[in-house]
Amino acid sequence: MQLCPLASGSKGNAYIIRTKDTTLLIDAGINAKTLKPRLSAISLQLEDLDAVIITHEHNDHIQALKVLGKGKLPVFSNKETAKGIYQALQVKPSFKIFSTNESFHFRDFLIHPFSVQHDTLDPVGLVIEAEEKKVGFCTDLGTPTSLVQKKLQGCNFLVMESNHDPDKVRNAKRPFVYKKRVLSNLGHLSNEQCAALLQSLVHEKLEGVFLSHLSEECNEKELALEVVAGMVPYLKDKLLIAHQEKVSELISLE
């Protein structure tokens, strides 16, 4: 199984996870014009996508559906997120509706969507299994609940939000409403919150972690790596950054 972040951050989120037979796009938050060369960088085309899974309806997770949603490509989401997508984009993709907290199969993947705390209609994190490997996606959440911790246990790779440094948020030249949202239980995880969650998820078969959804204004790549590695020494040489402006490393799970 292979994993690659195509984009990660407030300007758009998209991740590829694939086996030799099936290619999934997790979130479609960059426009199709940007998505095409990002896919090409890992030897894929739009036509190679077998399905899209959407975690929630914020624009930085659904932009490409303006194009992808006009064909027959299956778009998996829960019912509330599907409503939000239609309201936002006025397109009705070939929806495949799943129920939050109920697992489902798509080809050779077993997919576990679970509830997370974020300011959208019915946001989910994901654990995706194939080829005896498990990858966890949890990139937009304000607080790591016990459910999140339980669902992410035993993953071989994690895509985990490390969005901000709280002091940088407080000192940012941004409206108070922005700061309040980001720091709230429905906002985004700080570097320290990310590290604390990862402390509970470390095990000997955890191959690595993509730190994702980093704020351009209220975080720094080096700072996120330093904080997480400092709090979770086991992960010091297993941390990667999921980039916003370029394709990140293509990981093959061992």
DSSP H/E element including 109 = strand 109-115
pLDDT tens, position by position, 192-227 = 999 999 999 999 999 999 999 999 999 999 999 999
Q: Average pLDDT, stretch 28-52?
A: 97
Q: Work out the average pLDDT over 63-86.
A: 96
Task: From the options 3.40.50.1000, 3.40.50.170, 3.40.640.10, 3.60.15.10, give the CATH code of 2-252.
Answer: 3.60.15.10
- Give this prediction's pTM: 0.96
List pLDDT tens digits, range 97-120: 999 999 999 999 999 999 999 999
CB 28 within 8 A of CB 62: yes
Average pLDDT over residues 76-87: 98
What are the counts of helices (DSSP H) followed by strands (DSSP E) for the chain? 8, 14
In the prediction, which pLDDT does 254 show?
A: 80
| Rounded Cα gap, residues 2 and 18, in angstroms | 5
| Confidence (pLDDT) at 158 | 98
Q: Where are the domains of the chain?
A: 2-252
